[in-house]
């Protein structure tokens, strides 16, 4: 049983903590917070040992009646690996601390690839992280692109990808990003960072992306145009995506024609926090015209990277050599379709 610490118990961190707890070969030794808010209180109520990132704030936690087990330094002493889920940019600073302590660490997509030196996706490059000390699970958008482009590349080869990324303005609880009422080219320059980011896990893929922010909090939405190396028909693509774990073919004609309805579907599945770990692809959108594949998909930004974090732990701690075995184990424990 391997020990895992989660540094930063926020949107991603709390989901990673629960996903790790659901596995039978790893356990959570602690989670961290800077603020004594309801999430800190609920972490303790759930049974997690809570550690504080800013030792000077101990009294604030005491005054709030939230029991702490120590500081992050003490948490790091007890673990085989840390999953850093702190806000963008803080992980790069934490990397120096982990290096000094000799602790393996997984970072999130908000950190720059170059700072960590290795990026991870369960399907594209699992074995590259086997036994490694530091890796970064690519962002929610890049994870979404990889989940569908990797199997398509395996099936028929990809000459070139163009993708238009329609991004949510903020997460549902991020009131500091709203209220919002605009469409924002983000960035206004082309390409956006998503294409280059995909190349950190799908080496050599030819892709360009443009991105927009829109006033929604539920999900991202992607529109892909993929020039194929070898001719295939749509049914072959459907069969391939159908057989790919963590990808769901959904039908607009069955009432799943929008991100709102997909979130309703996640609720109906009885998922904790309404999470949709899988990448839904609209079946009606799949079409091949003049050797070019078109399709549309959505990404639940708060949860799609979570199973990848579990697989990254297995790879880096050399718990499972084959990606398919780790993916299947993670999926079973998390109830992924």
10 binds ligand NAP (CB under 6 A): yes
Phi and psi at 42, nearest 5°, equal: -70, -30
Within its chain, how far is the Cα of 134 from the centroid?
A: 16
Using CA atoms, how far residue 175 sits from 59, 67, 158, 183, 194, in Å, is: 27, 27, 40, 18, 25
User: What does the block give as tokens for 287?
Assistant: 């079409």
Q: What's the distance, Cα to Cα, between the start and end of the chain in Å? A: 26
301 binds ligand NAP (CB under 6 A): yes
Rounded to a whole number of angstroms, the minimum distance from the CB of residue 231 to ligand NAP is 35
**Residue 2 CB neighbour total at 10 angstroms:** 18
Strands 184-185 and 207-214: antiparallel
Rounded to a whole number of angstroms, the minimum distance from the CB of residue 159 to ligand NAP is 29
Using CA atoms, how far residue 271 sits from 127, 139, 154, 264, in Å, is: 30, 22, 31, 10
34 binds ligand NAP (CB under 6 A): yes
Rounded to a whole number of angstroms, the minimum distance from the CB of residue 17 to ligand NAP is 10
Of 216 and 226, the one with the shorter C-beta distance to ligand NAP is 216
Rounded to a whole number of angstroms, the minimum distance from the CB of residue 109 to ligand NAP is 4
From residue 94 to residue 113, the character string flagging contacts with ligand NAP as x (rule: CB under 6 A) and all else as - is: --------------xxxx--
Residue nearest to ligand NAP (CB): 10
Q: Are 80 and 72 in contact (CB under 8 A)?
A: no
Of 275 and 302, the one with the shorter C-beta distance to ligand NAP is 302
172 binds ligand NAP (CB under 6 A): no
Helices (H), the chain: 11-21, 38-46, 58-63, 72-77, 90-101, 113-116, 140-156, 194-198, 234-242, 259-268, 306-316, 323-334
Part in contact with ligand NAP (CB under 6 A); list of ranges 9-17, 177-185, 260-268, 284-292: 9-17
From residue 58 to residue 87, the character string flagging contacts with ligand NAP as x (rule: CB under 6 A) and all else as - is: ---------------------------xxx
216 binds ligand NAP (CB under 6 A): no
53 binds ligand NAP (CB under 6 A): yes
Cα angle value 310/335/261 (rounded, 5°): 110
Q: Are 285 and 279 in contact (CB under 8 A)?
A: no
Rounded to a whole number of angstroms, the minimum distance from the CB of residue 194 to ligand NAP is 12
170 binds ligand NAP (CB under 6 A): no
Catalytic residues: 140
* Total residues at interface with ligand NAP (CB under 6 A): 27
DSSP-derived 3-state class of residue 258: coil
41 binds ligand NAP (CB under 6 A): no
Of 90 and 224, the one with the shorter C-beta distance to ligand NAP is 90
Of 92 and 225, the one with the shorter C-beta distance to ligand NAP is 92
Residues within the interface to ligand NAP (CB under 6 A): 7-13, 32-35, 53, 85-88, 90, 108-111, 139-140, 171, 301-302, 305
């Amino acid at each position: 049983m391997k020990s895992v610490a989660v540094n930063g118990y926020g949107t991603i961190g709390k989901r990673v903590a629960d996903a790790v707890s659901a596995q039978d070969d790893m356990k959570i030794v602690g989670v961290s917070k800077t603020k004594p808010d309801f999430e800190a209180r609920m972490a303790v109520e759930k049974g997690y040992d809570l550690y504080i990132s800013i030792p000077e704030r101990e009294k604030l936690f005491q005054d709030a009646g939230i029991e702490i087990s120590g500081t992050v330094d003490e948490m790091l002493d007890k673990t085989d690996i840390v999953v850093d889920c702190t806000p963008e940019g803080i992980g790069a600073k934490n990397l120096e601390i982990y290096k000094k302590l000799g602790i393996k660490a997984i970072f999130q997509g908000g950190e720059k690839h170059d700072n960590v030196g290795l990026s991870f996706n369960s399907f594209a490059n699992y074995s590259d992280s086997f036994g490694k000390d530091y890796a970064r699970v690519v962002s929610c958008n890049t994870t979404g692109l990889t989940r569908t482009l990797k199997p398509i590349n395996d099936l028929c080869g990809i000459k070139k990808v163009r993708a238009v990324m329609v991004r949510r303005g903020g997460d549902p609880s991020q009131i500091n990003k709203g209220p919002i009422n605009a469409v924002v080219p983000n960035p206004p320059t082309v390409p956006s960072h998503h294409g280059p980011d995909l190349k950190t896990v799908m080496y050599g893929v030819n892709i360009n992306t443009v991105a927009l922010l829109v006033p929604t909090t539920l999900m991202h939405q992607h529109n892909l145009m993929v020039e194929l190396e070898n001719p295939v028909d749509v049914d072959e693509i459907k069969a391939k995506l159908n057989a790919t774990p963590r990808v769901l073919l959904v039908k607009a004609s069955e009432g799943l024609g929008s991100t709102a309805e997909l979130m309703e579907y996640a609720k109906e599945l009885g998922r904790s926090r309404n999470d949709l770990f899988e990448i839904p692809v609209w079946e009606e959108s799949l079409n091949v015209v003049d050797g070019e594949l078109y399709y549309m998909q959505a990404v639940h930004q708060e949860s799609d990277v979570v199973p990848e974090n579990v697989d990254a732990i297995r790879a880096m701690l050399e718990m499972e050599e084959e990606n398919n075995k780790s993916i299947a184990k993670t999926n079973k424990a998390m109830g992924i379709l």
